[in-house]
């Protein structure tokens, strides 16, 4: 694949190009006049030679070609149209019926928490007018980038008299479990941002909690009075609002973020507790690209995402702040990403040396596949090819979780997964690198409710894994508080090393494009 560069800057947007038909439903409906007819600018994917040290990148020597701007625009339009159509074909865009279901869920949740706040007020002999509550959404749903399978991130904002440990995790949970639409309720109390997970009318909900002195005010004075956990829970809502204000074109941002999220899921990178990206990380990276190239097409923005972050010097935080901040870089943080809020904060990150290496490799792969704007046989399916775990690794760490009932398994699995980073770090300290696959499997050969995870073991480093000692060491992190000790009484974790024959069929799909993609 030859590296191409224009002799002189070429405009990549003729005056004005037609919107690709496939993109019309997602982009053109609310685009502003300035977004529909932007000023010409330099083609964003005709790039300087890449730095040395990236094995997937082509040779540094450029081939200089004079390319007509009209041809560039035609190729760009074609790729943008194909990319948006690919999102639709993959089911990444929800239907109108799905949107209505989500709106219904949020309305019902608001009614439930208002009723709950009144119960708390009655219990504590407080006037009910002083005990109000509401539900605020954030995450992919509020940013407009959710898919049919996406969960709803929701924050329960309650009165200061309603405690997290009792009123939220006990009283409110009992109310939710009493509703016929609610199922699979699971508490994750020990996380940095404690939450309940459940399904409401079939839609997954992540429900966090924040106590505020007054529900309808987010003034600086009011926020200064809340506790640290409530502050952390509020971060998602505050950051969402700021991102919405900062991106120059909401429609293009939404399509770009949908593309990035789908790519991350396909390549095994969208799983925060395993040391990869959380949704907030991807949203900030997408917003950064949109702000830097406000007039770029969807294809141009996606290309620039890989160009920018495949070559990013990660000693420098990614930030949406226009001015430098005094927020200190935390020591040891491998992918520092700053939330666009005041005061500035770093996004919570579980990235380890091993997961950081895979993220860099996947960003470099994405850059290698998208950097040639004139490849005539290019297909988006190459970029979104599911990660070939069975081709990449010969040995896997098998993590088997079991519990007496399905409900107990959900609670147990949520708790163990929140501690997964400790296991990854223990392996790395022992000189064993791994690639944790986020997929949740089930062993159907046993009757007890179970959940199984398979982590690829890097062949260069694996000689022998003492699984009994590894489990013993990991269990110390699992039962380091009362919650873990109680759950461990009836539930268990089994760790073993297996080969390819023991993998489930779902992980053994073969990549038909691997040779062509990088050839």
pLDDT single digits (tens) 237-260: 889 999 999 999 999 999 999 999
Rounded Cα distance between 311 and 364, Å, is: 8
Burial 307-321 (b: 16+ CB within 10 A, else e): bbbbbeebeebbbbb
CA-atom Rg of the chain in angstroms: 24
The token duo for 133 is 């509550």
With a CB cutoff of 8 Å and minimum separation 6, the contacts of 92 are: 147, 258, 261, 262
How many CB atoms lie under 10 A from the CB of residue 1?
A: 14
What's the pLDDT at 404?
A: 92
**H/E element holding 195?**
strand 195-200
Q: How many CB atoms lie within 10 A of CB 410?
A: 20
Q: Are 351 and 276 in contact (CB under 8 A)?
A: yes
Look up the pTM and report it: 0.81
Dist. CA 337–CA 212, nearest whole Å? 27
Between vectors from CA 400 to CA 399 and to CA 405, what angle results, nearest 5°?
Answer: 145
Q: Chain-centre distance of CA 458, in angstroms?
A: 24
pLDDT at 150: 86
Contacts of 389 (CB under 8 A, 6+ apart): 268, 396, 435, 437, 454, 456, 503, 507
The b/e string for 447-461 (b: 16+ C-beta within 10 A; e otherwise) is eebbbbbbbbbbeee
Whether the Cβ atoms of residue 208 and residue 139 lie closer than 8 Å to each other: no
Distance between terminal CA atoms of the chain?
A: 7
The closest of 110, 202, 89 to 149, measured between CA atoms, is 202
Do 396 and 342 contact (CB within 8 A), yes or no? no
| Length of the chain measured in residues | 519
Crossing angle of helices 420-429/353-370, nearest 10°? 90
- Provide the pLDDT for residue 9: 33
Nearest Cα to Cα of residue 3 among 370, 393, 407: 370
Q: With the C-alpha atoms ordered 172, 173, 174, 175, is the resulting torsion angle positive or negative? A: positive
CA 105, distance to chain mean position in Å, is 22
pLDDT attached to residue 425: 93
Please count the other Cβ atoms lying within 10 Å of the Cβ belonging to residue 302.
Answer: 26
C-alpha distance from residue 258 to each of 78, 107, 278, 304 (Å) = 19, 25, 14, 15
Q: Which residues of the chain have pLDDT under 70?
A: 1-67, 213-225, 324-332, 460-463, 481-485, 487-488, 509-519
SS (H, E, C) 207-241: EEEEEECCCCCCCHHHHCCCCHHHHHHHHHHHHHH
Residue of 55, 45, 14 whose CA lies nearest to 375 = 45
Q: pLDDT tens-digit profile of 162-191?
A: 988 899 999 999 999 999 999 999 888 877
Task: Please choose, from the candidates 157, 168, 147, 165, the residue with its C-alpha nearest in 3D space to the C-alpha of residue 270.
Answer: 147
Residues 99, 137 contacting (CB under 8 angstroms): no
């Amino acid at each position: 694949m030859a590296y191409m560069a224009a002799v002189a800057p070429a405009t990549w947007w003729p005056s004005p190009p037609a919107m690709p038909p496939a993109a019309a439903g997602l982009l053109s409906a609310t685009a502003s006049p300035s977004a529909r007819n932007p000023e010409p600018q330099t083609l964003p994917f005709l790039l300087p030679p890449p730095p040395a040290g990236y094995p997937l990148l082509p040779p540094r020597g450029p081939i200089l070609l004079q390319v007509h701007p009209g041809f560039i625009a035609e190729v760009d339009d074609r790729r943008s149209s194909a990319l948006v159509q690919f999102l639709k074909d993959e089911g990444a865009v929800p239907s109108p019926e799905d949107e209505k279901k989500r709106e219904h869920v949020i309305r019902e949740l608001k009614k439930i928490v208002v009723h709950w706040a009144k119960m708390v007020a009655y219990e504590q002999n407080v006037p009910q007018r002083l005990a109000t509550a509401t539900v605020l959404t954030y995450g992919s749903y509020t940013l407009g980038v959710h898919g049919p399978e996406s969960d709803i991130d929701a924050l329960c904002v309650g009165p200061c008299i309603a405690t997290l440990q009792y009123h939220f995790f006990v009283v409110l949970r009992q109310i939710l479990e009493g509703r016929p639409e609610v199922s699979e309720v699971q508490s994750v109390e020990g996380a940095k941002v404690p939450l309940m997970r459940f399904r409401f009318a079939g839609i997954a909900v992540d429900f966090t909690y924040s106590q505020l002195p007054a529900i309808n005010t987010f003034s600086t004075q009011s926020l200064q009075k809340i506790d640290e956990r409530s502050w952390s829970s509020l971060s998602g809502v505050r950051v969402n609002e700021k991102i919405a204000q900062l991106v120059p074109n909401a429609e293009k941002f939404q399509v770009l973020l949908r593309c990035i999220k789908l790519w991350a899921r396909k390549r095994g990178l969208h799983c925060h507790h395993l040391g990869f990206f959380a949704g907030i990380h991807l949203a900030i990276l997408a917003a950064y690209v949109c702000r830097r190239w406000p007039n770029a097409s969807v294809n141009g923005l996606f290309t620039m995402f890989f160009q920018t972050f495949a070559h990013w010097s990660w000693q420098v935080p990614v930030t949406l702040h226009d001015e430098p901040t005094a927020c200190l870089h935390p020591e040891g943080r491998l992918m520092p990403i700053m939330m666009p809020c005041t005061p500035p904060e770093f996004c919570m990150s579980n990235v380890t040396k091993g997961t950081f290496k895979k993220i860099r490799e996947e960003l470099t792969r994405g850059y290698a596949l998208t950097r040639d704007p004139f490849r005539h046989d290019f297909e988006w399916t190459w970029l979104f090819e599911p990660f070939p775990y069975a081709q990449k690794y010969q040995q896997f760490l098998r993590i088997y979780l079991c519990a007496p009932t399905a409900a107990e398994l959900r609670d147990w699995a949520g708790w163990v997964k929140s501690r997964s980073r400790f296991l990854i770090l223990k392996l790395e300290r022992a000189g064993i690198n791994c690639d944790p696959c986020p997929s949740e499997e089930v062993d159907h050969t046993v009757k007890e409710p179970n959940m199984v995870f398979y982590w690829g073991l890097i062949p260069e480093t694996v000689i022998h894994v003492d699984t009994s000692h590894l489990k013993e060491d990991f269990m110390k992190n699992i039962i380091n508080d009362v919650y873990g000790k109680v759950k461990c009484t009836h539930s268990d974790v089994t760790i073993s090393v297996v080969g390819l024959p023991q993998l489930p069929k779902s992980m053994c799909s073969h990549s038909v494009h691997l040779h062509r993609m990088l050839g």
